Structure 1
Amino acid sequence: MKSDGNYFIGIDIGTSSTKGLALSSQGVALQVEQVHYGIYQPSPDHSEQDPEQMVAAVLQCIKAIVARQGVPAAIAFSNAMHSIMATDKDGKPITPMLIWADNRSLPMAARLKNTPEGRDIYTQTGTPIHPMSPLCKIAWWRGSEPAMFARAAYFVGIKEYVLHRLLGRFYIDDATASATGMYNIHTHAWSPEALAVAGIQESQLARVVRSVDILQGLEPAVAKELGLPALIPLVAGGSDGCLAQLGSDAMDEGHATLTIGTSGAVRMTTHRPLIDAQQRLFTYILKDQYVSGGAINNGGVVLQWYAKQFMPNTPFTTALEQALALPPGAEGLLCLPYLMGERAPVWDSLARGAFVGIQPGHTPAHFLRALMEGMAYDLLEVTMALQETVGPVKKISVSGGFTASPAWIQLLADIFQLPMHLQQQSDASTLGAIWLAMEAVGQPRPHNATTDADKVFAPNAALAAVYGQYFGLYRQLYGNLKKVFEGLHTLQAAPASATDAVNTAATSKENNNTHPRAVQ
């Protein structure tokens, strides 16, 4: 049945897929669409995506929903943070889309981070100096690809590119802008100091708008393809992390959100831009408030990697069940889960994964459980930093793909020794985008929008001591292994030299065997 104008669409442009949610004005989910796409990693430091695939996924989700539900009242957007690409003057890509996991700007980030200039930029922008940030990626391009850099007319992220395809103009919402490392969260303007480091002009970036601003004027061909009027309200929306806070109804003091999807994060809302003196946390804009927190690189993507490599004949859900059935501590096995480097709390792209305490009795399920516990310890460290900077955590709401496993949520409750609240609703980021769409067009938010009451996972107090002891040991791992990781990176960064040495040795041996009398 058509519901023209009586529902809203939220589009979440994520790292591994784009999701579309149709929600009625009464808060009833009408339709969900999801289109997956890949990440290209031709070498360990590369993480790229094809922006055309992502645009096609957005169009496919909108088109499928409109075909069944009719014309919506508005469409709003959520997006993964920290993506960046270069385009020519016509807005056509001249680079792939570099995502948060791309580490090629590591040398540039390392040079800048602990300088007075780097600390000043962090204080202004609330974004840690790290290879994830568009600031560092653009500055790296400037030095490593000068011909491309000189040709680039614009530097934009995935949402800006999608909006350009829809409207013919580049826009960026202030929440997403505040995650670029180039936007001053105190003055709500691009930072001249950060732009100088990047080597670009403000005119090379998208126009900044508010999260609730309405953008109109669909390109005629796009309007026809989607079955939408040209003046359909498109609401700028925000970044996925900030909107997860809004969609989880976690805008009150002391209410944290914990998300595990491809990556993971813990966040809290504040009324002023608080800056962590140790540079462990980010602070981003969300309307008239701020969201502080820390994101980890190694979420579900690491578990998927492990299951594929070491438990290939076991369905993923079964592998999780086997791991979660084991006792706390994985029977003496600890894991530092930094396979993709790490953002919060260490912000070290050279960090790597490690298993410590391996014994003959450990099975693949033990290693998987140790990975899950390591992720939880990592998120607990972020939460501790949040409590030091923002204030006490009174409640944690959980969201993301991991919530399909009650035992996994319970694991977090037991390690944190705090209740975990699972809201019975759709993806929090997508829902947050819809709340912005409703606000933008003056539609009151429905009271029953989150449907059922939270399901609460209470911690098992009997496990506090054992997890506390393992956590204490876990916190020693990174510091003890940091120099080892740096040494491994140095060796890995010079493969040609190592190969030359092997070839030289082989040639020498061959010569000695061929001409034994030549050696006296």
Structure 2
Amino acid sequence: MGVDLGTQSVRALAVTDDGRVLGRGSAPLTGHREGDRHEQLPADWWRGAADAIRQTLSALSASASASASAAPARGRARVRGVAVCGTSGTVLLTDARGVPLTPALMYDDGRAGAEARYAQETGADVWDALGLRIQPSWALAKLLWLTGAGAKSGGDTSILQGARVCHQPDFITARLVGRPVPTDSSHALKTGYDLHTRSWPTAVHDRLGLSGLDFPDVAAPGTPLGTVCAEAAADTGLAEGTPVIAGMTDGCAAQLGSGAWEVGRWNTVLGTTLVLKGVTATPLRDPAGVLYNHRSPDGHWLPGGASSVGAGALTHAFPGADLARLDRLAADREPASVVAYPLVSRGERFPFLAPDAEALTLGRPSDDADHYAALLQGVALAERLCLAYVRFLGAPIDGPVTFTGGATRSDYWNQLRADVLGRPAALPEQADSALGMAVLAAHAVTGDDAARRMVRIRTILEPRPEAGRRFDGPFVTLVDALERRGWLPSDTATYAREHG
């Protein structure tokens, strides 16, 4: 079973060894947004996770019962392992027992800009060696904001001495096991964890005034963390003793669920925002620090980045609209009369760092269909720029790019993105980060290559060259606009215009 803690919902999925989905469930999540602020309550995560798991188990039990007519005693299905993913950079503080002391600052909470600069400057020697650049969206900057340490208060953390650092999935895995457990190295990355030496940069934490915090032990993704306790079994319906497996961030989870495990393969996850992940044999060095490298369970490196462009711009601009109808209208607007860079929130993180960037529209749309088409196309153009950037850094891109995330429900948008990228696009049957966690759980409990057996490709979309050429001009227009505003570095812009 995989559990995915998203921005707007918790999703759970139960999958067989050969990739058949036997059960799924979901529960909504809400938070508090105001300006740069975005918080959620961890207790809501647990309630949502318990609801989603119970729904999944209900479907799973029905499926098992229906297939057990010849052997009624075997009608109850068994979950052999569960793994959890969450949004990258989301963090809170708890006490030693795991009880929250603060709300959770979500991945796109933008209040830690000054703290990010302070953390970057204070630990520049360490971050440069690791190829990292601390951003406002990162958990390390948020910890400085939560504690009041660093640039604004001179490092006074006395109020929260001994508080435990907790990433989003840590809260759920701790509740499942019944005690605080190690975090996974994937979520720990944006808290400054060194994947090369597999250690926390304690000297930098001291300089930042964070030495009073309890940073958790760190386990590699796929490591058993414990088993489901009696209390969690009562809340979720999972059997007591079910193995709980260390997960990965939602972007990495989607990559596992896409089947993109081989060197040279890339996956784009399009949900509220856009995440690009690939596989390389060695870490991909990025002097700008906007791309970072996770470590895969099999030892390869997973370079990638998270953009603030995404489908969230559609729900903001067209709340409650019939998106299927708008898709049909957008098909007649290729290209739209305007060019957009549809940021979901203030600031951009990848493929360039611009904390003050705002959503961009060049021109005035003629009507709603034109506006909607420009947003769809703008996300696709941003995706094209992301792929150009990783090629600029020397990364190989082989075979189709795999599309996952909630946006893959739109057949029109899938084809548009393939056309704009000029590359084939592979669409798995299950475009869900929860599948990636089910794959990881299977990998942990069986020890074999679960991804090749469990990931089923539904279709491969071929790009239409004549359609793709329509967007060459808008792409250059967008690159020029981003460069003029000082957001996109000139060397990246030059490469994108010539090779993007």
Flag whether TM exceeds 0.5 (same fold).
Answer: yes
Distance (whole Å) between structure 2 residues aligned to residue 101 and residue 232 of structure 1: 33
Matching residue within 129, 141, 145 for 1:140: 145
Matching residue within 466, 470, 494 for 2:470: 466
User: Could you tell me the TM-score, scaled by structure 2's length?
Assistant: 0.86
Aligned to 2:311: 300
Q: How does 1:228-267 map to 2 (within 5 A)?
A: 228-267=238-277
Kindly state the Cα deviation for residue 231 of structure 1 after the two structures are TM-superposed.
Answer: 2.0
* Contact in 2 for aligned 1:245/1:428 (Cα 8 Å): no
Aligned to 2:113: 106
Kindly state the Cα deviation for residue 184 of structure 1 after the two structures are TM-superposed.
Answer: 0.7
Kindly state the Cα deviation for residue 181 of structure 1 after the two structures are TM-superposed.
Answer: 3.7
- CA deviation map 1:235-255 (0-9, x unaligned): 112112112222211111221
Kindly state the Cα deviation for residue 203 of structure 1 after the two structures are TM-superposed.
Answer: 6.4
* Contact in 2 for aligned 1:238/1:286 (Cα 8 Å): no
Distance (whole Å) between structure 2 residues aligned to residue 447 and residue 280 of structure 1: 30
Aligned to 2:413: 408
Residue 33 of structure 1 aligns to which amino acid in structure 2?
G
Q: What is the DSSP-based 3-state SS (H/G/I as helix, E as strand, rest coil) of the residue aligned with 2:483?
A: helix
Q: What is the DSSP-based 3-state SS (H/G/I as helix, E as strand, rest coil) of the residue aligned with 1:62?
A: helix
- CA deviation map 1:74-124 (0-9, x unaligned): 1122222111111233322121110111010112223454x4843641542
* Contact in 2 for aligned 1:182/1:195 (Cα 8 Å): no
Aligned to 1:74: 81
Q: Does 1:22 align with 2:27?
A: no
* Contact in 1 for aligned 2:309/2:382 (Cα 8 Å): no
Distance (whole Å) between structure 1 residues aligned to residue 225 and residue 160 of structure 2: 30
Distance 1:446 1:289, change over 3 A: closer
Residue 29 of structure 1 aligns to which amino acid in structure 2?
V
Q: Does 1:435 align with 2:439?
A: yes
Aligned to 1:289: 300
Distance 1:344 1:446, change over 3 A: closer
Distance (whole Å) between structure 2 residues aligned to residue 196 and residue 364 of structure 1: 53
Q: Does 1:357 align with 2:363?
A: yes
Aligned to 1:186: 196
Kindly state the Cα deviation for residue 188 of structure 1 after the two structures are TM-superposed.
Answer: 1.5
Kindly state the Cα deviation for residue 233 of structure 1 after the two structures are TM-superposed.
Answer: 0.8
Q: What is the DSSP-based 3-state SS (H/G/I as helix, E as strand, rest coil) of the residue aligned with 1:34?
A: strand
Q: How does 1:200-211 map to 2 (within 5 A)?
A: 200-201=210-211, 204-211=214-221
Distance (whole Å) between structure 2 residues aligned to residue 418 and residue 482 of structure 1: 29
Identity over aligned residues, as a percent? 23
Aligned to 2:43: 52
- CA deviation map 1:318-355 (0-9, x unaligned): 22332233121x02x11122341211022222110122
RMSD of Structure 2 on Structure 1 (CA): 2.4
Kindly state the Cα deviation for residue 307 of structure 1 after the two structures are TM-superposed.
Answer: 0.6
- CA deviation map 1:408-447 (0-9, x unaligned): 0111112111111112x22342222122212222265386
User: Could you tell me the TM-score, scaled by structure 1's length?
Assistant: 0.83
Q: What is the DSSP-based 3-state SS (H/G/I as helix, E as strand, rest coil) of the residue aligned with 2:403?
A: strand
Aligned to 1:500: none
Residue 418 of structure 2 aligns to which amino acid in structure 1?
A
Residue 140 of structure 2 aligns to which amino acid in structure 1?
L
Aligned to 2:351: 345
Distance (whole Å) between structure 2 residues aligned to residue 447 and residue 346 of structure 1: 33
Distance 1:238 1:276, change over 3 A: same
Moved more, 336-345 or 26-35: 336-345
Distance 1:209 1:415, change over 3 A: same
* Contact in 1 for aligned 2:24/2:55 (Cα 8 Å): no
Distance (whole Å) between structure 2 residues aligned to residue 192 and residue 272 of structure 1: 25
Distance (whole Å) between structure 2 residues aligned to residue 77 and residue 407 of structure 1: 31
Aligned to 2:103: 96
Residue 393 of structure 1 aligns to which amino acid in structure 2?
I
Q: Does 1:173 align with 2:177?
A: no
Distance 1:31 1:296, change over 3 A: same
Residue 347 of structure 1 aligns to which amino acid in structure 2?
L
Kindly state the Cα deviation for residue 157 of structure 1 after the two structures are TM-superposed.
Answer: 1.2
Distance (whole Å) between structure 1 residues aligned to residue 108 and residue 281 of structure 2: 30
* Contact in 1 for aligned 2:83/2:440 (Cα 8 Å): yes
Kindly state the Cα deviation for residue 388 of structure 1 after the two structures are TM-superposed.
Answer: 2.3
Count of aligned residue pairs for this structure pair = 461
Matching residue within 363, 369, 372 for 1:368: 372
Matching residue within 301, 312, 315 for 2:322: 315
Kindly state the Cα deviation for residue 232 of structure 1 after the two structures are TM-superposed.
Answer: 1.5
* Contact in 2 for aligned 1:218/1:232 (Cα 8 Å): yes
Aligned to 1:268: 278
Kindly state the Cα deviation for residue 271 of structure 1 after the two structures are TM-superposed.
Answer: 2.1
Moved more, 46-55 or 349-358: 349-358
Distance 1:199 1:271, change over 3 A: farther
Distance (whole Å) between structure 2 residues aligned to residue 464 and residue 447 of structure 1: 31
Q: What is the DSSP-based 3-state SS (H/G/I as helix, E as strand, rest coil) of the residue aligned with 1:47?
A: strand
Q: What is the DSSP-based 3-state SS (H/G/I as helix, E as strand, rest coil) of the residue aligned with 1:190?
A: coil
Matching residue within 118, 131, 134 for 2:136: 131
Kindly state the Cα deviation for residue 197 of structure 1 after the two structures are TM-superposed.
Answer: 5.0
Distance (whole Å) between structure 2 residues aligned to residue 106 and residue 10 of structure 1: 33
* Contact in 1 for aligned 2:86/2:249 (Cα 8 Å): yes
Distance (whole Å) between structure 2 residues aligned to residue 468 and residue 14 of structure 1: 33
Kindly state the Cα deviation for residue 149 of structure 1 after the two structures are TM-superposed.
Answer: 5.0
Distance (whole Å) between structure 1 residues aligned to residue 89 and residue 306 of structure 2: 12
Kindly state the Cα deviation for residue 158 of structure 1 after the two structures are TM-superposed.
Answer: 1.2
* Contact in 2 for aligned 1:48/1:96 (Cα 8 Å): yes
Distance (whole Å) between structure 2 residues aligned to residue 98 and residue 53 of structure 1: 14
Moved more, 9-18 or 58-67: 58-67
Distance (whole Å) between structure 2 residues aligned to residue 174 and residue 399 of structure 1: 23
Q: Does 1:393 align with 2:384?
A: no
Distance (whole Å) between structure 2 residues aligned to residue 118 and residue 321 of structure 1: 50
Distance (whole Å) between structure 1 residues aligned to residue 452 and residue 375 of structure 2: 39
Q: Which runs of 5+ in 1 are unaligned?
A: 1-8, 484-520
Distance (whole Å) between structure 2 residues aligned to residue 369 and residue 235 of structure 1: 41
Q: How does 1:368-517 map to 2 (within 5 A)?
A: 368-394=372-398, 395-423=400-428, 425-442=429-446, 444=448, 445=450, 449-451=454-456, 453-482=457-486
Distance (whole Å) between structure 1 residues aligned to residue 363 and residue 451 of structure 2: 52
Distance 1:151 1:317, change over 3 A: farther
Residue 273 of structure 1 aligns to which amino acid in structure 2?
P
Distance 1:100 1:284, change over 3 A: same
Q: What is the DSSP-based 3-state SS (H/G/I as helix, E as strand, rest coil) of the residue aligned with 1:254?
A: coil
* Contact in 2 for aligned 1:164/1:170 (Cα 8 Å): yes
Q: What is the DSSP-based 3-state SS (H/G/I as helix, E as strand, rest coil) of the residue aligned with 2:266?
A: strand
Distance (whole Å) between structure 2 residues aligned to residue 174 and residue 35 of structure 1: 27
Distance (whole Å) between structure 2 residues aligned to residue 383 and residue 138 of structure 1: 31
